[in-house]
Structure 1
């Protein structure tokens, strides 16, 4: 089992290139970074685990730019969004940015995609909250057309463009893997089964709750659930019992550990602790 890292890359903590180099030197497999374009002050939407949102939620770097910088400083580290809020992004521009990042990184990009939790943030991008899942679905399908076809077009409810040329193409054939993030549930399961290359659950409870539903959704459409990549991403570091359960399930290729949003020395000390605890000698 491999281990990666996830963090809020911001202007207040360790530079993303430095942590990428440190991660690769210690033997971690990947680095995933989060996204918020901005953070409305209304707080109508909230995360139940926080009385006040941590400062990093309003300071995130653009993830594709941050990962491009990280790609230039590393050689083998996989680089991912954990997650990109795709409903809030224009798909043609995003498709080109993703393809460029994948090409420049040597095919090392993992496209983690989420539906979002902050309704006000989405509204500022013109997203109708009840339509966001459909918008994400169409954006993924439309972007794959741009990545795969010499002449691409798409005609959907949320995305439309006429027959077009769009280069560069990603280095990974067909585009980078699309890993859908979320706790789990029947709606997410249908999305993962239909167009996801994998799933980014948060913690062992999410895996136990969501995995049977994803398997059932795959079976309903005749897809082999073994084709999906399952990568628990974020939350608390797994206990030995949770890691053993992941091994028993036999589907977990990698576990992604949360890095604190903290000063440089604390972040590097956390990486050393994780390396000693989770990585083989």
Structure 2
């Protein structure tokens, strides 16, 4: 099993360069970064985890810029977003950003996407909340048109693009695309339609959820073996990782503290036993 990491990198934390080097040297599989463009001070949306919204949400680095730095100082470390708020982006610009990071890193990008939870943030981007799922679906289709090998157009309800020259291309045609969020029929239908897999937050309830997702996946004509499930923002323990392995999961993303360099490095030290357990030396 591959163990990757996620962290809220901010202007107050360890830097992307320092963290990426440490992760690769220690044998971690990847670095996934979240996204919030801004957090309006006057808030209505409750924090999904409950309580006060942590400070780091309003200070996050741009994930693509930070991942570009991480790519430049590593050779094999996986790079990912967890998650990109697609509805808050111009899809033509987002297609270019993702393709550029994937190209420069030699095909190491996983594009984790989601629908968001902060209505105020989305509203400032002109997003109509009730349509955000369909908006994301269409914008992914538009991005895939731009990533196509030959100039390909797309016409949709929420946007369009003419057949265009759009380079660089992602190394494998498109970055690996995972949708983050809670289990549900609509979520699973969208995963089966246009994604490569699911990024369940926290990873609970997978024994019941994965068979339902597989049913939707196969009903959409997708190849069963190609479905990817990557539990995200996990606080690991041996039993949990063993359970994931029994479910056929081969990658998990563990949560690091949004903190300064000494604190993050100490957290990586504490995760070393899990790395050794899943990747024993020959």
Q: TM-score range by the shorter chain?
A: over 0.9
Cα distance, 1:225 vs structure 2: 3.3
1-structure distance, mates of 2:208, 2:57: 27
State the distance in 2 between where 1:47 and 1:220 align: 35
2:166 is aligned with 1:166? yes
Match of 1:99 in 2: 99
Q: Which position in structure 1 is the counterpart of 2:14?
A: 14
Q: Is the CA contact 1:21–1:73 (under 8 Å) kept in the aligned structure 2?
A: yes
Does residue 1:248 correspond to 2:246, yes or no?
yes
CA contact (8 A) 2:13 2:260 kept: yes
Q: Does 1:147 align with 2:162?
A: no
Unmatched runs of 5 consecutive residues or more in structure 2: none
- State the distance in 1 between where 2:84 and 2:203 align: 22
Question: Quick check: 1:185–1:209 contact (8 Å CA) kept in 2?
Answer: no
* 8 Å CA contact retained: 1:183, 1:210: no
Secondary structure at the aligned position of 1:31 is classed as strand
Contact 2:179 2:197 in 1 (8 A): yes
- Partner-residue secondary structure (3-state), 1:81: strand
Aligned length: 278
| C-alpha distance in 1 between matches for 2:76 and 2:223 | 29
* Contact 1:184–1:209 (CA under 8 A) maintained in structure 2: no
Q: Look up the match of 1:260.
A: 257
When normalised by structure 1's length, the TM-score is 0.95
123-132 or 239-248: bigger deviation: 239-248
Cα distance in 2 between the residues matched to 1:38 and 1:209: 35
Offset of residue 209 of structure 1? 4.4
* 2:259 alignment partner, SS class: coil
Provide the residue aligned with 1:46 in structure 2. Answer: 46
CA distance in 1, matches of 2:44, 2:71: 36
1:133 correspondence with 2:133: yes
Partners of 1:183 and 1:206 within 8 A in 2:
no
Measure, in 1, the Cα distance between the counterparts of 2:271 and 2:159: 42
Question: Shift of residue 140 of structure 1?
Answer: 1.1
Structure 1 residue 206 displacement after superposition: 4.4
What is the alpha-carbon distance in structure 1 between the residues aligned to residue 214 and residue 14 of structure 2?
39
1:247 is displaced (CA, Å) by 1.7
Q: Confirm or deny: 8 A CA contact 2:28 2:275 kept in the other structure.
A: no
CA offsets 1:222-254 (integer angstroms, 9 cap, x no match): 22332111111104x23322222212112x111
Give the distance between the partners of 1:43 and 1:210, measured in 2 at CA: 32
Q: 3-state SS of the aligned residue for 1:83?
A: strand
Task: Write out the 4+ residue segments of structure 1 that deviate beyond 4 Å after TM superposition.
Answer: none
Instruction: Say which is worse superposed, 133-142 or 24-33, in terms of deviation.
Output: 133-142
Structure 1: gaps spanning 5 or more residues: none
> How many Å separate the matches in 2 of 1:115 and 1:206?
21
Structure 1 match to 2:179 = 180
2: distance between equivalents of 1:206 and 1:24? 31
1:123 and 2:110 matched: no
CA drift at 1:156:
0.5
Deviations 1:171-220 (A, max 9, x none): 2x211111111121111101111111111112231423432221121132
Contact 2:111 2:176 (C-alpha < 8 Å) held by counterparts: yes
Residues 27, 275 of structure 2: 8 Å contact kept: no
Q: Does residue 193 of the first structure (1) align with residue 192 of the second (2)?
A: yes
| TM superposition score normalised by structure 2 | 0.95
SS at match of 1:131: helix
Question: Over aligned residue pairs, what C-alpha RMSD do you find?
Answer: 1.3
